[in-house]
Structure 1
Amino acid sequence: MLLCGPALVGLASWGGVALPSWLTADDAAYLSGGITAADPIAAATVEGFASGEFQEEAEAAVGNCIPAKATALLTSASLQRTAITASNILFHWECYPTFYGSDIAAVPSQGRLVEIAEKATGEILATGERVRDEIDAFSERHPDQHVFVFLGPDSMNIQGSPTAALESDPLTYDQLEAIFEDNDGKFQWISGNITYDEFLDGWHKTDHHWNIQGAFAAYERMAAALGFGDEVLIPSELITYEEPPFRGASARRGLMSSYEDRITDFRFSSFPQLSVTINGSEGTSEDLVHEKAYGSGSWDVNPFANHYADYFHTDYGLVTIRNEESDSGEDLLIVADSYSNCMERFLATHYRTTYVLDPRHLNTTLDEFLTEHEDVSDVLFIMRGLNLLYETTEHALS
């Protein structure tokens, strides 16, 4: 039965037979271990067999044909979690992995999933110092621009994280902040340090991203540092979308469906008209926030769909936002990861033009970009640690 199930699903799929999504791996598309790119034919060589590449590709291809794969993954993780929960009766840990080997932990008392704390290795601390020096050198090369750095906190490094107490020498926000803040360099550090209670209110329970409340609090800090403290936006209404439920990246990676979030957003009584260009193609403000689509009930029905990206927007190499009502003659360059997706429009209200560059999706250096966009007055980094201390950011700074 174990062998024939994937064989029959695979033959049906390759033969063009339409199968219900629950019977294939389609419903597992967003889940960790769901669908893996595999090409065993390309690796079907003597070298591929000798290296093990063919075996790995073949295993991935067969894995994509496991019947009812989403149910299989979630059931397997649930059974493992039952055993882990039972063993925890002896220890009373506040949190525990969602399955054996998972890098996501469940915190039942809070109905929350968190990423397990990262160790403060010499390598990661050295990377932080290197990135700091590269930002400092970049700032020195561009004395006409003001450079700001905002490091977004997350469940791995926030003070009071329940997984930090279970790790030896966990990496903390304070350690990362000390690397950047204590440097008498050419850029300005904007602290994102918050308490754990603030984290609970400002971050999703099943996703590593902040919710709109946490993002707006960060925007207020950035606006003050950029000199717009007296012009900061004031929300008039908090919108909460009861549908669809949002099971974020931590739920997808942790294979856990019992915890869920809701997408929230702010409305404003007065907000300028923005025009948008995405990767060189003209768009609209609806491409930044899909409020109309969600208001009409248009969203991905997969229970693990990435609604953070669906509601705000997915990651792009370059987004250009023009403020049609701006009196400013200055432009802003935001160097960001997905943390900026929900709140770059807030910053865009203070500038004539705002560029949002994601180094993970645009293969250009910041020097090259500033050469082509001479009106940029401010450069603002908005990233969490995993992406700020990453090779794509270093390439952008090179």
Structure 2
Amino acid sequence: MQKVRSIAFIVSVLAVMGSMVLYQAAGFLLPGFETKTTSSIEGRAFLTLHDLAEDSFDDGSFQSDFEQYAADAFPFKDEFSLCNAGIQRAEIKLAAVPFGYDAYPTFFGSDVFALESEGVLNSYHQPIQLPGTASYAHVEAWCGALNAAAESHPDVAFDVCVTLQLRQSERDPMYGYVRGYPLMDKESVEDLWGGFLGESIDLHVFDAPLEMSVDEAWYRNDHHWQAPYAVDSYGVLAAESGWAPVSWDDADHIQVVPAWYGSNARNGLDLGFQSAFVDHAYDFSDYRYYKLTDSGKGEMFELGKRQGYLDGAVGENDIDMTNVYSEYYGNGAVWIENPNAQKGTTCLVVGDSMSYSIRRYIALNFESTICIVPGNVSTDGNVDWYADRYDVDHVVVLGHAYAPDFIYSMSPGFLGTD
């Protein structure tokens, strides 16, 4: 069996290398090698030969990039990954039957676990609240950076908002399946973050109301919050900040797509778990969206596909089912202008992807709302620098409890650790 597996591997490698040579010599790609330029499963663009820099050979990055390029050149890479994970999952499920286990990893080495009886996929990481862990240190550093910014801008209001994911709720159908896993619930987040943040910063820990069902608050296959939970959280923040109130009943409720594959489904390589995607059809049609560049406000563009969908110009088939949340709301940094808000008011929103579904609501209260995502993309500067540059009146920091880990990974300067 090992010999057959080795032969199959060699044939696969030769097929990839042969295709690469054929493309370089004759500009011809074999069927299957030209099917995609991006990976829906991995959420990134495949590497091309132009991405390989020869001057990086000495530090080893060329070799690493070449290995990734060769892997990306494999025909039907996404489909192969899903098939391979499916085979491993079948073996895992078969082995679990004699023991009566109904929760299992989605493939060997996966940190995404499936509970078929509840239709849930979830991932679990090290607890944040334990001193000595990297996550604990990142939260401490992040809060320290925010304290420094608040102290140097005493006239600017600072709100830090932490959203709880399904895996941090006792209503998680998989709660209790991970033995010895301390729950990072609302109280522990308040204790941890509140212990680091200064008195000039208001801390808000958003949890879904008990009257809101699991499916109204979260996705069963993704780490984001559902629109009802996001709108309810904005309502809480608005009431405490004196902003324009908005409730879930202030606009129609729409189902954008009946089923989509969330981040846990993609990371777990298991597209058998799907969730409906709903939205709050609140009218933001007067907004103007601009790209945020190094020099400030850039060219105008359409943020996501939300407005196009509400206008009827975008249909269900125009949205990538593996990335509905980001495609629909729009991702990345953006400058939002609201002509109906008080002139000369500016808000800085420092968020992760959780902020994508709520930042339009925050923009109801400011003429300019500048949104950056240091945990999702590499971002220069820090909160102090942005507050100075754009003369902001309000800073809203919004993300899930693990956001400082991603900020450290993508933009360490925001934590003062670069």
Q: Same fold (TM over 0.5)?
A: yes
Pair 1:171–1:394, CA change in 2 (3 A): farther
Q: Is residue 27–residue 302 contact of structure 1 (8 Å, CA) maintained in 2?
A: no
What is the number of equivalent residue pairs in this alignment? 387
Q: Is residue 159–residue 172 contact of structure 1 (8 Å, CA) maintained in 2?
A: no
Deviations along 1:89-112, one digit per CA (max 9) or x if unpaired, are 234445221101112111212222
SS at match of 1:332: strand
How many angstroms apart in 2 are the aligned matches of 1:177 and 1:247? 32
Question: TM-score, normalization: structure 1?
Answer: 0.83
Question: TM-score, normalization: structure 2?
Answer: 0.79
The answer on 1:282 being equivalent to 2:299 is yes
Which residue number corresponds to residue 190 of structure 1?
204
Alpha-carbon distance, 1:148 to partner: 0.7
Alpha-carbon distance, 1:202 to partner: 1.7
Which residue number corresponds to residue 21 of structure 2?
11
Structural mapping, 1:350-369, within 5 Å = 350-359=365-374, 360-369=377-386
SS at match of 1:148: strand
Which residue number corresponds to residue 175 of structure 1?
188
Q: Which residue identity lines up with residue 110 of structure 1 in the other structure?
A: E
How many angstroms apart in 2 are the aligned matches of 1:60 and 1:25? 17
Structural mapping, 1:313-352, within 5 Å = 313-316=330-333, 319-327=334-342, 330-352=345-367
Match of 1:385 among 401, 407, 418: 401
Alpha-carbon distance, 1:151 to partner: 0.9
Q: Which residue identity lines up with residue 152 of structure 1 in the other structure?
A: T
Q: Which residue identity lines up with residue 201 of structure 1 in the other structure?
A: E
Pair 1:305–1:273, CA change in 2 (3 A): same
Which residue number corresponds to residue 268 of structure 2?
254
Alpha-carbon distance, 1:365 to partner: 2.2
Q: Which residue identity lines up with residue 369 of structure 1 in the other structure?
A: Y
Which residue number corresponds to residue 307 of structure 1?
324
How many angstroms apart in 2 are the aligned matches of 1:8 and 1:302? 35
Aligned-pair RMSD on alpha carbons? Answer: 3.4
Structural mapping, 1:68-79, within 5 Å = 68-79=76-87
Q: Which residue identity lines up with residue 114 of structure 1 in the other structure?
A: N
Q: Which residue identity lines up with residue 193 of structure 1 in the other structure?
A: D
Pair 1:275–1:107, CA change in 2 (3 A): same
Which residue number corresponds to residue 233 of structure 2?
218
Alpha-carbon distance, 1:28 to partner: 7.0
Tell me, which stretches of 5 or more residues in structure 2 are unaligned?
1-10
How many angstroms apart in 1 are the aligned matches of 2:153 and 2:76? 55
Q: Is residue 246–residue 263 contact of structure 1 (8 Å, CA) maintained in 2?
A: yes
Q: Is residue 33–residue 73 contact of structure 2 (8 Å, CA) maintained in 1?
A: no
Tell me, which stretches of 5 or more residues in structure 1 are unaligned?
none
Which residue number corresponds to residue 396 of structure 1?
414
Deviations along 1:185-222, one digit per CA (max 9) or x if unpaired, are 22111111347975442222322222222221221222
How many angstroms apart in 1 are the aligned matches of 2:43 and 2:201? 41
